[in-house]
Structure 1
Amino acid sequence: MDELTRDEPNLQIFPIIGMGGIGKTTLARSTFVNPYVVHFFEKRIWLRISQEYSIREILVGLLNDGKDQESNETLAELGERLYKSLCHQRYLIVMDDVWSTRASDDLKLFFPNNRNGSQVILTTRLSSVAVSLGSHNPYLVNFLDDAKSWNLLCQKVFAQEVCPHPELEEIENVNSLANLGSDDYCLKILSLSYNNLPIHLKPCFLYFGVFLEDHDIFVSELMKLWVVEGFIKPTTNKSLEEVAEDYLNDLIGRNLILVQTRRLNGKANICTIHGLLRDLCLREFEKEHFIHVPKVQYTSFSKVADDRCLGCCHATTLQVRNLTKVLSHVVSQSAALASLPVYCAYRNMTANLVRIRSAPVKYSDKEFLHPTRLRCLCVLSFTDLKFVSPSMIHVLWNLQILDLDAVGREIVLPYEIWEMPQLRNIRVYSAPLPDPRVSQDCTILENLQKLSFIKNLQFSEEILERIPNLKKLRICYVGDMEWSYYGFHMLACFLQLKSLYIYNVNFSLENITFPVSLKKLTLSSCKIPWEDMTILCSLLPNLEELELYENAFKGNEWNQVEGEFPRLKILLIFESDLLSWRLENIHFPILETLVLRRMHLLEEIPSGIGDIPTLQLIELRDCRDSVVNSAKRILEEQQSLGNESLQLDVL
């Protein structure tokens, strides 16, 4: 009400956004009928906009205080009459439940800007509509936390903030209560959001139903699964992973998916789905026959007494028809992973697994089924993982994600992974890549986008030729080999590489070249002299994120020079022996986020940081008091200059 009635003469559009059913209309209505607002505005009109709206019906409604009446006038005549009726009055118009920018665009011409404080409120589930139409910052209707929800309930029921009858505190599941009744009122409201989705987003949204209720969903894992399920439509200029990110942002913008945490670059890191929306997904599962969800959603593979068996699965999981992911917890050390079967502990039910598209593979004196439809294979083992050569892993010709973790034990990959052209993501914890020259197959892994936690990767022409489109690379080095042995001068040949992580190699920057495409660089335990930072900058003109962990650079002093990192937006330094740091605002001209963690020796943050006009956040974790105090001085100085955008986060 304060925003609506303050001394702002120009016509403004106030968007109220949030999930369907969260209370946007209730908030707008309570404001609309408030006596002060009623007194302030000479004319008030409430109009509900449907998904399939008629501009004629809207204009007639606006002219008749929201009532539907017959009219023979043309659209132009109706619009002109509305404009004139509003022209000399201070008016408030509420457009409730707007689903597209088109509805408001069609009407804005008829809303005169009288410069007398007239206002328009619109409620919408779509953030894109709010941003496109709103001339005022959107008001986001958020969820109440548990404490506020409980207090509200007690106030409404008992007229006090505590429950006088403790035996009443144990209540049923809220979702089940919300859906009681013959018409399932809540789900009907939410179904409008689902029905409004474009066809390519519907399977992506429904896929959230396979996750457990209240489950935190890592965005990187979700998008990988979308890709392997075939939900993502390829485009010319973007990878499937980039398109998947666009899809997720669209669902977030429609307030169907909730963001729990974000990365330093602002991208969603962990998301979740509201319980009622998950119920909607499950209901649509049944209607569309989209995915068969077994009662046991988690298939556990573990070592059994018979060492000839790689694992066992519960009989209830035999109903799964399109197996796309197998999670193995413990694998026998002597087992050939190439023969990994979907094996049922109930021998007489093994035949039922024929429903999985499979090929027979001999293992010991038994014949098991080999799931060739697998697209994602994740193995977590507490013993060594050594593939037997020659391996049959390439029989998994649909495999797109290979994720192996032996929890500190040895992993040996077979050379046959060079014969799997569908692979998009290989993540193996501290295992070397096999030499591609051993393979007789000359397949190029054109789809491979990510290669993570590879040990002692040696760059060679053969490696570069086989994975030309790599975009994300994470390498860890162990042993005493000279850094020159690994061929870092070949790095620039990865023309598509955007993100690079290097751990534990003491190299010289003078003989290294980086691809100009690189946007993010993470270095850990590399012990590069701080004075070589200038060299690094000259090699990375397009770098946007720089993360330095555990003495990535060594020395006590960092004196920056003009021109360093002209495009850097995020700088993170974690655990360094740095004492003194000197810079001016020209060194990081567009820096947005500075994060310092466990900087126990650093004396203070350079005051010039505060003069960077784009800086939005300084985050400090486990730093000296003098560092915290210097950050507070920077914040106070900026606030005194009218800069309210800078935030300080200290823990």
Structure 2
Amino acid sequence: MAEYAVTFVLDKLTTLLAENVILIKDVKKEVESVRDELERMTAFLRVADAAEDSDPELKVWVKQVRDVAYEIEDIIDEFMLHLHYTNGGCSGFLRKLIFSVRNLKNHWEIASEIRSIKSRMTDIALGHRRYQYSFNVPNQGSDLPSHGGGGSSRGGSSSRGGSNHSDRRGDALLLEEGELVGIENPKKQLVTYIVEGELRLKVVAVVGMGGLGKTTLVKKVFDDDLVKKHFHNYAWITVSQSFNVEELLKDTIHQLFDQMKLPVPEAMSTMNSNRLKATVKDFLRHKRYLLVFDDVWDIHSWEAIKHVLPKEDQGSCVIVTTRFMDVASSCSVENDGYIYPLNPLSEEESWILLCQKAFQGNLCPKHLTDICESILRRCGGLPLAIVAIGGVLSTKKESNIDDWKKLNYGISSEFDGNNQLECMSKILLLSFNDLPYYLKPCYMYLSNYPEDHMIEHNTLVRQWIAEGFVKLKEGRAVEEVAQGYLNELVNRSLLRPVKTNDDGSVKISCIHDFYREIILSKSRDQNFVTTTTERNMVWPKRVRRLSVHGALENSEVKRYGARLCSLLSFSVSDPHTISSILKLLKSSKMLKVLDLTGLPLEKFPEIILELFNLRYLSLRNTWVKRLPGSIMKLEKLEMLDLKGTHITELPVGILKLQHLRQLLVYHHVLGSYIPYDYVHGFKALRGIGRLKSLHKLCFIEASPGSNLLEEIATLTELKRISITKLRTVDCELLCSVIENLGKLCSLGLRVVEGDVLDLQYLTSAPPFLQRLYLGGRLANFPHWIQSLRSLVKVYFRWSRLSDDPLQYLQDLPNLVHIEFLEAYVGQKLCFKAGKFQKLKLLGLDQLKALRSVIIEEDATPLLEKLVIQRCNLLESVPVGIERLSSLKVLEFFDMPDEFISPLSPEKSGDEYWKVANIPEVHHSYWRNGCWEVYPLDGTLANEIFGNIGAPIVTTQEQRNWL
């Protein structure tokens, strides 16, 4: 993290020196001197950042560097803030005079502060040179690693402090089978795969987060009697983070030759890597071998290994364990291999393992059951965590329930004082230390979020960007780079996907509790994020980011706002806490990110207008009804999220926000089913075309007589736009506007009820369009849709098409999701043989004349979810549904009893066989203001919604809720 802090402030210093900020000569010289010294430290910091946890003195030095970097950042921000204020407020000669005096004063102040920083850096530099010598790290000046947005690069790793990890990995290899839980099925699957089937070389990649038991599982496979008999030669090679390819090859040679009781080649000690590889390859040629490469950390390691493997049809196999999905993919792709993602233990398996470790296999005492269940939830099915916690619990007296409660509520505090938990922490910490410097602050930023919080990736990306964590890369938008960062965290198993978008990208994820504990600890140590989870908390000396979870005391707020750069709130409803937050904002002039989502605010807090530095502002799901005209003061604002508020008009002042990239202003109408006017946006604002930086604009209402469409045509950076209240007379111009928006990925259009959405004028649609939402009657199917090779999702609502729309959609190569709501007036829908090869989600709602759905052979082979609702004339489930082997969920909403009865096994339904193999089949009815959900056996499953106004907006959202 120190490397990131230094790199971040170097960027600021470079900007300060390069831009048109007039600095007096002495100040400029001091700034340049500080910049040069920081650049000299960066190469060493790459090693020091990862090694500081194992060296207390080094940790102090790294903290000193980080603190200096933060102070320099604060000085620059304050200086720029003073320049902002001295630039306004007066005019003419008086303004120039006041500006000159204030500006000179600012220069004197910054010069004095920089000289003080320089003096401290002189002392720090002495420590730098001492540690640089002991670590043997070359001084490389400003030769910084490039920023990246994904890929296989690994950074921040160190060979120091790795022995503990190796020791624990060795412990995993010594476990007896009887000590293991949940290993039987995975072991059986892997053994079957590697000893049966084709004779080609097989490569198996076992992938998962640290602590899941990858090494333990593969070792049991490796030692299995059937496996030993099947292979002629075998070797187990531990790779780990820091490995030497020559030493790895020598280890392999020793194992292979010793197994055959052959002497190793005499010249092996002097062989280079090429000769060593040739030796291994020659030995393995024409043999059936099993090699395990345990703990492979990057693609480059695999590239160094794979060339020793003879690709012969001998039935040989290679097993790789790794934490990284890109490594697993690289290992398996060339050999058409097998990726085995190792999953956490189930609740039942977790409980068995905990009892095995905590109570020596005996039952958990009843008075401790609730506490143990709570502790187990924190473990999240991670065997390493369960074993470590179980070992700690085994030392507690069962009669002393207070000790058990303390452990439950204070697991994080136990990390530093308990050997077993410390060992677990070190293993998990390896993944954090291995992160490139630019990903460390991004990952630590997750400590803002409460435990078990579902993290929305769009929101997280916007916050990262506003904080300045994401750096521009040539030819890529900053959002794309940030998405690459997210993908890399998911790839490294540091974020667990919970929900994906239709294009396969992750939409929502969460972080394992124990990884969260690690970054919480890091955040506390480095004053990166301060979290208020309880009253009377002990505040650190410096608060840079504040996350309010529930309560914030009045007495503390004024002291900690001066250096604050982000403030996020979660589940805040207490009026005193809201008052404290608003008071805190008065002293938080440096704030970049402000997220007040869900606060019961009725008025826009005027204090926000004083936050000159603000980049990100979310008032999502508040009760705010209007924005002040003086919103123009927030001239650096890039993201404005007003989703779920009651705002329907925007002030003219918003047109001054030239950096605005995302403008979200809309709220949904709640109800059991989606009404025609299901979403309310904001009225068209004359001059909206001035916001040239806009990437997202949702939802804007087309007012009669306005020149909205002409202005939208000038917003050529738009990637997502939704326009409502269009009229038929607008359609010809609308089509020409859409043709001009070449970067568009998502398009939503809806005409006023009763008008026709005529899109026949469109001849060339945006080539990268992925999501298309059309609302209102269509005279004909828009034939240009057939050319959208990137289209992933399409919604047709109230279209009332007379032709079967499937014939126009069936050849789209990437179409994953289709929703029809009152979109078709015909009696039959037919999915032709071999068509819709990527379709996974299908929703059919209120197709009033529909009588039959036919799915021909080999059509929709990947369909996973099918929802049918209010299709009252439909005679039966789709013909051919029994062939859909991928179908996991089948849901019916408000379908007639005569449709449901033949599917019920209790009523001897003659069509039950068609759906018998589908894991989840439900039918639901909206009754008395709530959804009643029934499985096929007819019993009431549960009440999902308890009051009128259930927040169901689309068919997809109904599936999410249910």
Is the TM-score greater than 0.5?
yes
Q: Say yes or no: does 1:276 pair with 2:523.
A: no
- How far residue 411 of structure 1 moved from its aligned partner, in angstroms, is 2.9
Structure 1 residue 91, shift from structure 2 partner: 2.1
Alignment partner, residue 433 of structure 1? 684
320-329 vs 251-260, which moves further: 320-329
Q: Distance in 1 between matches of 2:585 and 2:758?
A: 58
Q: Is the 8 A contact 1:449 1:470 kept in 2?
A: yes
1:224: how far off? 1.5
Q: 1:324 to 1:454 in 2, by over 3 A?
A: farther
User: Per-residue displacement from partner, 1:394-428 (whole Å, max 9, x unpaired)?
Assistant: 21122111122565x45321112111111111011
**Aligned twin of 1:455:** 701
Identify which of 27, 38, 41 aligns with 2:217.
27
Structure 2 equivalent of residue 484 of structure 1: 730
- What's the counterpart of residue 285 of structure 1? 523
Corresponding residue for residue 416 of structure 1: 653
Match runs of 1:509-520 below 5 Å: 509-512=759-762, 515-517=765-767, 519-520=769-770
Matching of residue 91 in structure 1 with residue 294 in structure 2: no
- Cα 1:301–1:119 change in 2 (3 A) is closer
Give the match for residue 78 of structure 1.
276
Structure 1 position 534, deviation (Å)? 4.7
2:759 counterpart of 1:558: no
Deviations 1:106-165 (A, max 9, x none): 2333233453322111101111111111232211111123233124434666687x9352
The Cα RMSD (Å) is 4.1
SS of the equivalent of 1:29 reads helix
Superposition pairs of residues 556-635 of structure 1, within 5 angstroms:
558=804, 566-567=812-813, 569-576=815-822, 578-583=825-830, 585=832, 591-598=838-845, 601=848, 602-608=850-856, 610-612=857-859, 615-623=861-869, 628-635=877-884
When residues 195 and 650 of structure 1 are mapped into structure 2, their CA distance, relative to the original with a 3 A threshold, is same
Separation (CA, whole Å) in 2 of partners of 1:401 and 1:582: 43
Matched to 2:766, the amino acid is V
- 1:239 is the counterpart of 2:477: yes
- Summarize the Cα distance change of 1:477–1:251 in structure 2 as closer, same or farther, 3 Å threshold: same
| Partner AA of 1:228 in structure 2 | A
Counterpart for residue 363 of structure 2: 163
- Work out the CA distance in 1 between the residues paired with 2:358 and 2:484: 44
Q: For residue 281 of structure 2, what is the amino acid of its counterpart?
A: Y
SS at match of 1:97: strand
Q: Alpha-carbon deviations, 1:480-503, whole Å to 9, x = none?
A: x65528942433222322211123
Q: Distance in 2 between matches of 1:637 and 1:124?
A: 28
Change (3 A) 1:629 1:486: closer
Name the amino acid aligned to 2:193. E
Match of 1:49? 239
Identity rate, percent: 23
Shift, 1:230, TM fit: 1.6
1:322 aligns with 2:564: yes
The runs of 5 or more residues in structure 2 that have no matched partner are 1-190, 259-263, 380-410, 535-545, 594-602, 667-680, 888-916, 923-962
Indicate how the Cα distance of structure 1 residues 637 and 240 shifts in structure 2: closer, same or farther if over 3 A, else same: closer
- In the TM superposition, residue 284 of structure 1 has moved relative to its aligned partner by 2.7
CA distance in 2, matches of 1:294, 1:513: 56
Task: Establish whether residue 494 from structure 1 lines up as the match of residue 692 from structure 2.
Answer: no
Distance 1:166 1:356 in 2: 50
* 8 A Cα contact 2:702 2:708, kept in partner: no
Q: Greater share of helix residues, 1 or 2?
A: 2
CA spacing shift, 1:535–1:317, aligned 2, 3 Å: farther
Residues 558 and 582, structure 1, Cα contact 8 Å, conserved in 2: yes
DSSP-derived class of the 1:71 partner:
helix
Give secondary structure in 2 for the equivalent of 1:184: helix
Gaps of 5+ in 1: 303-311, 332-341, 438-442, 639-645
1:370 aligns with 2:610: yes
Deviates more, 1:462-471 or 1:276-285: 462-471
Match of 2:721 among 469, 473, 477: 473
Q: Which amino acid aligns with 2:363?
A: C
Give the one of 57, 61, 74 matched to 2:251. 61
Is this contact kept in 2: 1:14–1:138, CA < 8 A? yes
Residue identity matched to 1:166: K
Q: Distance in 2 between matches of 1:547 and 1:280?
A: 42
Shift of 1:290: 3.3
Per the alignment, do residues 23 and 346 of structure 1 end up closer, same or farther by CA in structure 2, a change over 3 Å counting?
Answer: closer
State the 1:206 CA deviation.
1.6
Q: Deviations over 1:492-546 (max 9, x none)?
A: 22232221112343322234566423513433541224xx1154536x5445134
Report if the CA contact (8 A) 1:425-1:451 is conserved: yes
- What pairs with 1:380-399 in structure 2 (closer than 5 Å)? 380=620, 385-388=625-628, 391-399=629-637
- Residues of 2 paired with 1:82 and 1:383: CA distance? 70
Letter in 2 for 1:165: P
Contact kept? 1:635, 1:648, Cα under 8 Å? no
Write out per-residue CA displacement over residues 301-359 of structure 1, whole angstroms, 9 at most, x where no aligned residue. 99xxxxxxxxx98554553533445779999xxxxxxxxxx975898x8975567699x
CA contact (8 A) 2:557 2:580 kept: no
Matched, 1:14 2:204: yes
Structure 1 distance, partners of 2:655, 2:619, is 19
Structure 1 window deviating more from structure 2 (216-225 vs 171-180): it is: 171-180
The range that moved more, 103-112 or 349-358, is: 349-358
In the other structure, the counterpart of 1:198 is: 436
- Seen in structure 2, the aligned counterparts of structure 1 residues 395 and 354 have a Cα distance that, compared at 3 Å, is closer
Work out whether residues 620 and 650 of structure 1, in 8 Å CA contact, stay in contact via their aligned partners in 2. Answer: no
| Shift in CA distance, 471/287, structure 1 to aligned 2, threshold 3 Å | same
Task: Tell me the secondary structure at the aligned position of residue 548 of structure 1.
Answer: strand
Aligned to 1:338: none
- How far apart, CA to CA, are the structure 1 residues paired with 2:480 and 2:616? 19
User: Which one has a larger percent strand, Structure 1 or Structure 2?
Assistant: 1
Equivalent in 224, 228, 231 of residue 466 of structure 2:
228
Cα separation, 1, equivalents of 2:283 and 2:319: 19
Q: Tell me, what secondary structure is at the counterpart of 1:65?
A: helix
State how far apart, in whole Å, the 2-side matches of 1:515 and 1:315 are. 58
In 1, the alpha carbon distance for the partners of 2:341 and 2:810 equals: 39
Match of 2:329 in 1: 131
Structure-2 change in CA distance of 1:200 and 1:406 (3 Å): closer
| CA shift in 2, pair 1:467/1:330, >3 Å | farther
Cα displacement string for residues 202-231 of structure 1 (whole angstroms, at most 9, x for unaligned residues): 222221111111110111111121222222
Inter-CA distance 35–414: structure 2 relative to 1 (3 Å threshold): same
**CA distance, structure 2, for counterparts of residue 627 and residue 258 of structure 1:** 39
- Does residue 40 of the first structure (1) align with residue 290 of the second (2)? no
Quick check: 1:46–1:96 contact (8 Å CA) kept in 2?
yes
Partners in 2 of 1:525 and 1:75 — Cα distance?
A: 64
Q: Secondary structure at the match of 1:412?
A: coil
2:619 is aligned with 1:379: yes
Query: Given that residues 450 and 471 in structure 1 are in contact (C-alpha distance below 8 angstroms), is that contact kept between their aligned partners in structure 2?
Result: yes
Change (3 A) 1:113 1:461: closer
* Aligned residue type for 1:40: H
Larger mean CA deviation between 52-61 and 542-551 belongs to 542-551
User: 2:769, 2:791 within 8 Å by CA — same for their partners in 1?
Assistant: yes
Aligned to 2:449: 211
Q: Which amino acid aligns with 2:785?
A: C
User: CA contact under 8 A between 1:47 and 1:94: conserved in structure 2?
Assistant: yes
Kept in 1, the 8 Å contact 2:632–2:654? The answer is yes
Deviations 1:570-618 (A, max 9, x none): 341243254434556499665433512435643333334x445x85225
Shift, 1:189, TM fit: 1.0
Count of equivalent residues: 601
The one-letter amino acid paired with 1:163 is L
